[in-house]
Structure 1
Amino acid sequence: MPVCKEDLSPGSELDIIFVTGDAYVDHPSFGTALLARILENQGYRVGIIAQPDWRSTRDFTRLGRPRLAFFVTAGNMDSMVANYTVAGKPRKDDAYSPGGLGGRRPDRATLVYCTRIREAFKQTDIVIGGIEASLRRFAHYDYWSNSLRRSMLIDSKADLLVYGMAERSVVEIARQLSAGRRAGELQHIPGTLWRCRAEDAQSIQVIADTWPSLIQDDAAGLPEARLLPRKIQNLPGWEDLKDPRLGKNHYSQSFLAQHRNTDALNADILTEAYGPWLVVQNPPALPLSASEFDALYTLPFTRTFHPDYLEAGGVPAIEEVRFSLVSSRGCFGGCSFCALTFHQGRRIQARSGDSLVREAELLTRLPGFKGYIHDVGGPTANFRRPACEKQRRVGVCKDRQCLHPRLCNQLVVDHQDYLGVLRRLRSLEGIKKVFIRSGIRFDYLLGDSNGEFLTELCAHHVSGKLKVAPEHISPRALAAMGKPRPEVFQQFAHAFKNTNQRLGKNQFMVPYFISSHPGTTLADALELALYFRDQGGTPEQVQDFYPTPGTLATCMYYTGIDPRTGREIYVSRSYQEKAMQRALLQFRDPKNHGKVRQALETLGRTDLIGQGKQCLVPGAFKSPPGKPGADQKRHQNPKSRHRSSENRRNTPGGRGRSNHRTSK
């Protein structure tokens, strides 16, 4: 088992030390544990410093100086999302901390950890990664300060940045470091960012020309793939991005180039200039073959949290995954508000059915298992294969989406492999029920001419309620979100209802919705409210749009431009309007009536205020004069309203986890 904190015996030396913002949970769903087990399996001696006290160097020196490097991550979640709500309020809990209590990780944890390591060990190599670093690998808009920030490779003063799913990358980095090279010298490893002086840029061209030979060993499991030299694209530099007149146009162009280059088989090499320095992104690491993916789940995980956390009640995040199975990674859904394509890529990687069955059999022997597998899925549960045959050979299309604005005519919709896995799992001894909770992409499901999957889904794999994510009902809003047209969701809702009636089951859908997404106006929010009025019910799940790095929607939010078209797009920025949009989506809640009336007056729809069946809220209301200047100021720096709380939060009694979710 990887060494944690004081488990190390005196005089021992570790090869690699991970520093993470999460409590240590030895489970394959936790990135630090997975990478540590992989390196341990390769013969490296690995230590883990989990949730160190960042106010001094003491915790960072507990395991001594590593022989090779420190690997630093903020954890499974972005530390700013973990610490703050979209309104800038400190969170009270953190599912990745002992007892679910917040305050165990600092803001911008990756940067803080690197600073402390440099104070303690000035000459030791530092490699950063994880979701926080991955989504901040280039210059990015930072919602919490309402400003642009530089590449995290620059700001952290780390030697190398690993982005995406890091299994291949960390093993190669460790191998090169063991051979005597320094992390800052590694320029050829897929899935990494490195830096060089502008006058040394000729080395980038050498890498581009020789790329096929650099990755041919990793491509052994992809015999159909075409390995070609790569081009070099120079993104707008830091000075261009900060230009007060054209900076947002440059940022939009830069993000589009990054968005187009996320596939291992066809991504170009990207560079970004910071004065005399260049940050260079190599193409992503090649996807894992099924056998390589399977092998990760044979490693000797204990599948529980470190015993140090027993007194605090354990680590809540394990409960979400303890009795679940990860069957795939990657997503070709293309939702604008989701960072998955930026981190995991659009190409689907799937484990074999045999691997999933073996893990399910293991789950039946774990303490506390009661016969229920809580989930079998990935970012999108019913994606189990690449979207088309072309992706296997040359990678995903750079300028076309698989599902939006409609299903691509090259898309292969096939649930047979997934159905086969589910049937095998539910037939195992000791398993009473196998649920699917990670989300179903309903437009893909409807593209399957064989209705077999929907029937078996309703018959065997819904725990009373099925979570789906239509997100909105306005065509304008859905186009900005990259989601299917409203009639597609209505068609699925009708099919789901009819299937359950035919099976004699009383099951329901729980739809997710987003308010204030770029491209969504107050009138669009009203359109959705009227849909709820006419259909009945109130949405249980409404989430305010949260601008986080790495998403197309955040680029829209910052620039007011849709990078896909180059056209201006409406963005709701004031706190007042965002509150009205959310209130409209839950207009039946009495505490929202004031804001709903205010929204209806703003839209000139006072006919919807009153006692009639067509009305959204009762009575009459005269909203007070707004103060857009104050609202805008609060919005521009969401933390400014909580400075005293922010200062108090930087103690062990601080804040925690987000509801931030991914696309389905």
Structure 2
Amino acid sequence: MNAFLPVSKEDMLDRDWYWYDFLVITGDAYVDHPTFGPAIISRLLEKEGYRVAVLAQPDWRDPSSFTALGRPRLGVMLSAGNLDSMVAHYTVAKRRRQDDAYSPGNRPGLRPDRATIVYANRVREVFGDIPLIIGGLEASLRRYAHYDYWEDKVRRSVLVDSQADLLVYGMGERATKEIAAKLAAKVPVGEITDVKGTCFLADRPDACRYPSVEVPSYEEVSSDKKAYALANKVEYEEHDPIRGRAIVQRHERRWVIANPPAMPLDTAELDEVAELPYVREPHPMYDEMGGVPAIEEVRFSVAHNRGCFGACNFCSLAFHQGRMLTSRSHESVIREVKLLTQHPGFKGYIHDVGGPTANFRHLSCAQQKEHGLCKNRACLAPKSCPNLDADHTDYLKLLRELRAIPGIKKIFIRSGIRFDYMMQDKSGEFFAELVKYHISGQLKVAPEHCVNSVLDYMGKPHIEVYEKFRDKYQRLNQKYGKEQYLVPYLMSSHPGCTLEDAVQLAEWLNKGGRQPEQVQDFYPTPGTLSTCMYYTGIDPRTMKEVYVPTDPHEKAMQRALMQWKRPEKRPLVLEALRRTGREDLIGYGKECLLRPGPGQRPPEGKDYHKPQEKNKGKSGKPKLKQAGLRVEHNASNPKRKAGWAKPKPKKNAKPKRDKR
């Protein structure tokens, strides 16, 4: 049976350890599972022959909590956890979250804001000049001077503020192994400046050992939004492991030097990392605290790929994992699923076989192997590239093999699926089997909006692609006798989205007969192209101005328009319709969003259709058609499901006779 890595001196003594090599600090609870970055790094170091101890969620207010396991021999590896700590702590409205799925018992407040900086400064305080390497999503996205939504200003690179020696960006396995080997060989950490996928500080820009490009300095991007947009554009263009150059950015009297990205792991390396001896559970020290909720979503799930060439502008994946896709072998995934069937809590259901995008298994085109991804265009949006290889054959074969494993009842796919990629697959075989075998009642996809100009700013396909997908999905469900629903993810207030665009989205939803339960307001996370648009009002791809909804009241109206049926949203929806001159959507027609209020009349000259008397019941209220009534899920009544409502049978009703 696999054992957890030491988390205390007692654990080390049980192993007869009186010293150890690396301390891995994480802002998450200690969950030894391959979907947790610190678990991967610690197990990888262990496999390389190093002694590793884990310090999870240390009390940053108490310096002694960082010395509880003693001083490591070679260095400290530090991560804020699976999420940026500010995203983990605050909603898009900048309200403090009341829970934290990555902490024991779902408790908030067990890690600090800006955890990478706070933890690193404590390490410097207690261990002095020990080699300190920061990594994880928070460090990766903040490696350059970046706009910080919570402070509403540009902050310096996290490498500067943390006082770390090195910053590892991206997934980090290659860089971690190379850094550890150099430290073990007694190379001073200040001389480790050639590792791809890392950043370091230098006194001169020519300290960079690779072909490089300099972007506007921290001082420039802090004061000039055009300079910020130019820097962001270059940072995105060079984030490619084949053609990418190093990036140099001055911060006061020093330079942050980001070496070119590391190559992604190949299939054999990815298999090896996925099958390290993880316990695959939270540490038992959390049992009395209620466990760690984040494990529930991934305990019986399998990640089969990495990277995403979908490249949505608001998504941080392209800037962290990168756009080049790699995938695990069938044999490795099959071994993992067989392992899961032996878990005492397994009930026959694999919750997901996915990744950043579930239905990607190979590079988007053959040219990427030699030339990398295209600098000035995306693979899928606004239209699919003619060179796109939209082939699901390998993924389909993998799913069929998994379904045949003894003990498997159902294999679900719950990761994001790119519907535009599916629609480019002419065979349609995967689409058919997805509907037949792999949906757990609802399929969630992300059209995000319906106005094509807004979708262009998002980096998403035009709405016609989604509508064709939706229609085909409905036909396939009818063909196979399935009662499965499509849940579209939608976003309000993205840069480029005006109040008029938000009204169009509400009309589109109304025409389709659905109203989303949950609405996502655009969240400006560090480093993304969309965040650059939000801060600068400039699209960095074109350097042209873009409208940005930043007023909280307008954002509230955009959000309310997507849930126009809710009574508490009525004042905001009414104001939005009046501001945009769309009072024609106030009335009794099926195209209308709001009914006139008490004592109100629709404006003269408008053709509003009142309910017909013959459609009224005894109460005087309009009857609802029973066949084909669209019923939205009601949070206050969980028994009502989204779908087509069936007519209720009348009491004591006799069955109709066949008149034939």
TM-score strictly above 0.5: yes
Aligned mates of 1:76, 1:621 — CA distance in 2:
51
Post-superposition Cα deviations, 1:334-376, rounded to whole Å, max 9, x if no partner, equal: 1111011100010101001111101000000012100000000
Superimposed CA distance per residue, residues 160-191 of structure 1 (whole angstroms, 9 cap, x where no aligned partner): 00000111111111000011123232110010
- Distance in 2 separating the partners of 1:509 and 1:271: 45
Give the corresponding residue for 1:281: 258
Residues in 2 aligned to 1:21 and 1:183: alpha-carbon distance in whole angstroms: 24
Q: Distance in 2 between matches of 1:621 and 1:258?
A: 56
Separation in 2 of the partners of 1:591 and 1:434? 40
Query: Shift of residue 578 of structure 1?
Result: 0.3
> Which of 300, 322, 325 is residue 302 of structure 2 equivalent to?
325
State the distance in 1 between where 2:380 and 2:393 align. 19
Greater relative CO (CA pairs within 8 A, separation 6+): 1
Q: 1:92-171 alignment to 2 at 5 Å?
A: 92-171=98-177
Offset of residue 619 of structure 1: 2.9
Give the equivalent residue in structure 2 for 1:202. Answer: 206
Secondary structure of the structure 2 residue equivalent to 1:591: helix
User: How do 1:610-629 residues align onto structure 2 when only pairs under 5 Å count?
Assistant: 610-620=587-597
SS in 2 for 1:180: coil
How far does the alpha carbon of each residue in 1:290-328 deviate from its partner, in whole angstroms, 9 at most, with x for none? Answer: 011011122111110101000011100001100001010
What letter matches 2:5 in structure 1?
P
Distance 2:280 2:591 in 1: 53
AA in 2 matched with 1:164: G
Residue in 1 that maps onto 2:55: 49
Note if contact 1:262-1:345 (Cα within 8 Å) is conserved in structure 2: yes
Pick from 37, 42, 45: which aligns with 1:39?
Answer: 45
Q: What's 1:240 paired with?
A: 220
Which amino acid is the alignment partner of residue 203 of structure 1? A
- In structure 2, give the amino acid aligned to 1:186: I
> What amino acid maps onto 1:257 in structure 2?
V
Percentage identity across paired residues of the two chains: 52
Q: Which residue of 1 aligns with 2:575?
A: 598
**2:611 counterpart of 1:608:** no
**For 1:110-132, what per-residue CA distance to the aligned partner results, in whole angstroms no more than 9, with x for missing partners?**
01101111111112111100000
Q: Which residue of 1 aligns with 2:323?
A: 346
Aligned to 1:13: 19
- In the TM superposition, what is the alpha-carbon distance from 1:519 to its structure 2 partner? 0.6
Corresponding position of 1:316: 293
**Which residue in the other structure is 1:529 paired with?**
506
- Take 1:554 and 1:614, find their aligned partners in 2: how far apart are those partners? 34
Runs of 4+ in 1 over 6 A off after TM superposition: none
Match of 2:118, SS state, is helix
Cα deviation, residue 242, structure 1 = 2.5
Quote how far apart the aligned CAs of 1:594 are.
1.3
Distance, in Å, in 2 between the alignment partners of 1:148 and 1:485 is: 32
- 2 CA distance for matches of 1:124 and 1:358? 40
Cα deviation digits, residues 131-154 of structure 1 (max 9, x gap): 000000000000000000000111
Q: Which residue of 2 aligns with 1:222?
A: none
- Distance in 2 (alpha carbons) for counterparts of 1:376 and 1:318: 16
Displacement of 1:607 in angstroms is 2.4
CA distance in 2, matches of 1:332, 1:589: 37
On the 8 A contact 1:511/1:541 being kept in 2, the answer is no
SS at match of 1:311: helix
**Could you say which residue in structure 1 is the equivalent of 2:654?**
none
How big is the shift at 1:202?
3.4
Q: Which residue number in structure 1 is paired with residue 618 of structure 2?
A: none
SS in 2 for 1:18: strand
1:175 equivalenced with 2:178 (yes/no) = no
- 2:278 is the alignment partner of 1:301: yes
Q: Distance in 2 between matches of 1:521 and 1:159?
A: 44
What does residue 2 of structure 1 align with? 5
State how far apart, in whole Å, the 2-side matches of 1:354 and 1:417 are: 13
Q: Distance in 1 between matches of 2:598 and 2:574?
A: 6
> What is the letter of the counterpart of residue 331 of structure 2?
D
From 472, 484, 497, the equivalent of 2:449 is 472
Residues 621/475 of structure 1: CA separation in 2 closer, same or farther (3 Å cut): farther
The yes-or-no answer on 1:576 pairing with 2:553 is: yes
Task: Tell me which of 416, 421, 433 is aligned to 1:444.
Answer: 421
Cα displacement string for residues 532-591 of structure 1 (whole angstroms, at most 9, x for unaligned residues): 111101113420000010211000000000011110000000100000000001111111
Asked if the contact 1:137–1:152 (Cα under 8 Å) also holds between the matched residues in 2, the reply is yes
Structure 1 residue aligned with 2:619: none
What SS class does the counterpart of residue 242 from structure 1 fall into?
Answer: helix
Deviation at 1:621, TM superposition (A): 9.4
Asked if 2 retains the 8 angstrom alpha-carbon contact of 1:610 and 1:620, the reply is no
Query: Which residue pairs with 1:71 in the alignment?
Result: 77
SS of the counterpart of 2:367? Answer: helix
CA distance in 2, matches of 1:113, 1:202: 31
Structure 2 equivalent of residue 416 of structure 1: 393
Give the conservation status (yes or no) of the 8 Å contact 1:19–1:70. Answer: yes
- Which amino acid in structure 1 is aligned with residue 8 of structure 2? K
Report what 2:335 is aligned to. Answer: 358
User: Take 1:202 and 1:568, find their aligned partners in 2: how far apart are those partners?
Assistant: 34
TM-score by structure 1 length? Answer: 0.88
Residue matched to 1:551: 528
Residue type matched to 1:125 in 2? P
Cα separation, 1, equivalents of 2:387 and 2:311: 16
Partner of 2:247: 270
Q: Secondary structure at the match of 2:486?
A: strand
- Secondary structure of 1:389's counterpart equals coil
**Contact 1:609-1:620 at 8 Å conserved across structures:** no
Unpaired runs of at least 5, structure 2: 600-660
Summarize deviations over 1:410-450 as a string: whole Å, max 9, x none: 11111000000000001110000000000210111000110
Q: Is the 8 A contact 1:19 1:71 kept in 2?
A: yes
Shift of 1:612: 3.7
Which residue identity lines up with residue 220 of structure 2 in the other structure?
A: D
Structure 1 residue corresponding to 2:234, chosen from 257, 276, 286? 257
Query: C-alpha separation between the residues in 2 aligned to 1:166 and 1:8?
Result: 26
CA contact (8 A) 2:334 2:402 kept: yes
Q: Distance in 2 between matches of 1:580 and 1:58?
A: 49
SS for the counterpart of 2:360 is: coil
